Structure 1
Amino acid sequence: MPRATTPESARLGLLVGDGIGHEIVPATQRIVDTAMSAVGAPPIEWVDLPVGLDAIAAHGSPIPDQTLDALGDLDGWVLGPHDSAAYPAAFRGQLTPGGTIRKRFDLFANIRPARAFAGVRATVPGMDLVIVRENTEGFYADRNMHTGSGEFMPTPDVALAVAVFTRRACERIAHAAFDLASRRRRRVTVVHKANVLSLTTGLFRDVCLEVGAQYPGVEVRTEHVDAMAAHLVRRGAEFDVVVTENMFGDILSDLAGELSGSLGIAPSINASQTQAMAQAAHGAAPDIAGRNRANPTALMLSAAMLLDWLSGRRESDELGSAAERIRGAIVHTLEAGVATADLGGLASTAEFTETVGARILRW
């Protein structure tokens, strides 16, 4: 039986960010609006919120309190890239806007697909996997302390770092991975380094295996992170869902994105049980900002992931159909050889967006 659709319009935050965000965020908004209209869904209610350099100029902070407060009342958010290196010195040592949002709203699951597309040259042409990255703990100094940093220096010549792994965090990311795998090809690879970090990543591995036992239809295996990096290069097409801790997930997902073609086509969402944020895996690319050359693919695909996430939350077939139209239109656009310069193509940001939008309408 088809799922019920919901008549209410989704309310999504739109945070342009820095650099090429000023081009790829409006392009993504246009594509989402086109897809929603094409499936007969209520239009998205977009809420523009200041973030990044523009927010510093207008509000004295790269992530103003009014932006954070407003995000809590929305269904989800689309976040453009940030260029923290260009911020005034007083802000460079602080959490990035994205990091502040993740911490404020406990977006514990960073879901990063890596898929090779026809028409895009890939080192691993058959790759189609998803890396599920724990997003709140691990070795990252900005995420493992309630107050302060997980890095410290007892003397000028000694630097120390604290890693945090809790059963609760391991369990919830494992459930996210196994639930996703049960809707894909039913295989999960748990990545760790328990031969060296036996207590920390050993806990992560063991808890993931305990959770995996609750999903008897899903095959599970384990890999050390160094071996996993080699496996992705040699036989990356064999993997389905990969679950790992924060730092390993960050590194492996960038590697997988490049192996599948480019970080320019690598999407992601950051999600909790109640909220989610679409955010491309790449940066702000200030060197090409304002030149109509940026590749909006990753953020468009991230927005499609957000629509899928909302579809599950709202039991809305329309949102899922809009997401599928976006993905399908991008696949066919790239397959036809229409691509931006980073992928070897000649299309501008505007031309690529125009082509994707036209294909959505012809679906």
Structure 2
Amino acid sequence: MNKLNLSVIPGDGIGKEVVPLTLNVLDTLASVHGGVKFEYEKYPWSCEYYLEHGEMMPKDGMAKLHQSDAIYLGAVGNPQLVPDHISLWGLLIKIRRECEQVVNIRPAQYIKGVKSPLAEPNDFDFVVVRENSEGEYSEVGGRIHSGDDEIAIQNAVFTRKASERTIRYAFDLAVKRSGKVTSATKSNGIVHSMPFWDQVFKEVGTEYPNINIESNHIDALCAFLVSKPHHFDVIVASNLFGDILTDLGAAVMGSIGIAPAANINLNGNYPSMFEPVHGSAPDIIGQGIANPIGQLWTAKMMMDHLGLEELGSLLFKAIKETIGEGIKTKDLGGLSTTEEVIDYINAKILTQA
């Protein structure tokens, strides 16, 4: 029996409702597989935890996470209780940085039964590979002076090591998919970091002669994701550009509630982390209508990462069939509760196994 230890952090808001329910789905997957068992270490780290303890996680929190095979995260943040810069940098970004989760992966595809705002979605299926450790989200900078003379400086940091490993990951992913990589740039306006990014992209691209490559300025690329999302396969982007593009990807799908994300550690020294893109949605807490699909899709990505691709495919098939048969939460135009969607997916898995 292959035992996999998962660190489970439900987090804030609807994360506390959705994550425990989706663990039932993981247990169902394990039961039909027969050769794997998931063991859960559950941590209550959240904004409420911060109010009680003065920190988003305990001092030994990272050491505990390092012992797991993967981290399964719900949603972080409740600005009514704790400012976002404290909650995110004290938990989500802290984990990303200290577990060296240097690449962020977010897929987007047309799913039958989810109403896309696009008139002709054309069965798009693309994935954004985002640099996850530096770039525009570096901590380099600061403020000086006050009043009319106050100055804020935020430095974007691009290293060859981080840029190259992200771009190379995108090319390797494209080899397994449709064989096309698009780079997000803005070298006509950002005159140092973006030409550097373009140079690294071009150099890595020469090592993959069978991959079609192109480079689009970020503003045009945003427009293209709306007008022709089916044109794209793998998109590789810096930290900020990737962040923007992935929310846009969720929007063209039809709901941020179904969008997943994976924060990948590449060196094997620390666990990777899997989370939905949506926030904690404090406005719908306790109503039983939170959409569990984003959390389940990221569980599918976690299965793939752990070498359980068969279970990942089984789960995703059940998700798409459930939505296609009209079992959906309110945000997708359905009438089902969170638990009803979970129960239906569980039944689908058992039927298909």
Q: Normalising by the residue count of structure 2, what TM-score does the alignment of the two structures yield?
A: 0.93
8 Å Cα contact 2:2/2:37 also seen in 1: no
The answer to whether residue 6 in structure 2 is matched with residue 31 in structure 1 is no
CA displacement, residues 233-280 of structure 1 (integer Å, 9 cap, x when unaligned): 100111000000010110111011110121111101001112211111
The equivalent of 1:336 in structure 2 is 325
Choose between structure 1 and 2: higher strand proportion. 2
The equivalent of 2:133 in structure 1 is 136
Structure 1 323/246 Cα, relative in aligned 2: closer, same or farther at 3 Å? same
The equivalent of 2:206 in structure 1 is 213
CA distance in 2, matches of 1:90, 1:176: 30
CA displacement, residues 279-313 of structure 1 (integer Å, 9 cap, x when unaligned): 111100001112111001011100110110111xx
Structure 1 90/213 Cα, relative in aligned 2: closer, same or farther at 3 Å? closer
The Cα of 1:90 is off from its aligned counterpart by 11
CA distance in 1, matches of 2:202, 2:27: 41
Secondary structure of 1:250 counterpart: helix
CA displacement, residues 131-182 of structure 1 (integer Å, 9 cap, x when unaligned): 0010111112xxx23xxx5343444433221110000000110111111111
Which amino acid in the other structure matches residue 223 of structure 2?
Answer: A
Which amino acid in the other structure matches residue 130 of structure 2?
Answer: R
8 Å Cα contact 1:18/1:52 also seen in 2: yes
CA distance in 2, matches of 1:231, 1:98: 30
CA distance in 1, matches of 2:45, 2:315: 26
8 Å Cα contact 1:134/1:169 also seen in 2: yes
Give the one of 44, 60, 80 matched to 2:74.
80
CA displacement, residues 315-353 of structure 1 (integer Å, 9 cap, x when unaligned): xxxx11111111000000011111000000000000000
The answer to whether residue 295 in structure 2 is matched with residue 299 in structure 1 is yes
Alignment of 1:229-248 (within 5 A): 229-248=222-241
8 Å Cα contact 1:137/1:163 also seen in 2: yes
Structure 1 251/91 Cα, relative in aligned 2: closer, same or farther at 3 Å? closer
| Runs of 4+ in structure 1 over 6 Å off | none
8 Å Cα contact 1:83/1:286 also seen in 2: no
The Cα of 1:110 is off from its aligned counterpart by 0.6
Give the one of 272, 277, 283 matched to 2:279.
283
The answer to whether residue 164 in structure 2 is matched with residue 176 in structure 1 is no
Which amino acid in the other structure matches residue 132 of structure 1?
Answer: V
CA distance in 1, matches of 2:108, 2:142: 31
Structure 1 208/89 Cα, relative in aligned 2: closer, same or farther at 3 Å? closer
The answer to whether residue 147 in structure 2 is matched with residue 150 in structure 1 is no
The equivalent of 2:251 in structure 1 is 258
CA distance in 2, matches of 1:37, 1:267: 24
The equivalent of 1:349 in structure 2 is 338
Gaps of 5+ in 1: 1-6, 312-318
Structure 1 35/205 Cα, relative in aligned 2: closer, same or farther at 3 Å? same
8 Å Cα contact 2:184/2:237 also seen in 1: yes
Moved more, 55-64 or 18-27: 55-64
8 Å Cα contact 1:125/1:260 also seen in 2: no
Pairwise CA RMSD? 1.7
Structure 1 13/93 Cα, relative in aligned 2: closer, same or farther at 3 Å? closer
Secondary structure of 1:44 counterpart: strand
The Cα of 1:94 is off from its aligned counterpart by 6.9
Count of aligned residue pairs for this structure pair: 344
Structure 1 36/51 Cα, relative in aligned 2: closer, same or farther at 3 Å? same
8 Å Cα contact 1:55/1:62 also seen in 2: yes
CA distance in 1, matches of 2:178, 2:159: 28
The Cα of 1:93 is off from its aligned counterpart by 7.6
The Cα of 1:56 is off from its aligned counterpart by 2.4
Secondary structure of 2:41 counterpart: strand
8 Å Cα contact 2:97/2:133 also seen in 1: yes
Secondary structure of 1:303 counterpart: helix
Q: Normalising by the residue count of structure 1, what TM-score does the alignment of the two structures yield?
A: 0.91
CA distance in 2, matches of 1:361, 1:58: 41
Give the one of 36, 47, 56 matched to 1:42.
36
8 Å Cα contact 1:116/1:128 also seen in 2: yes
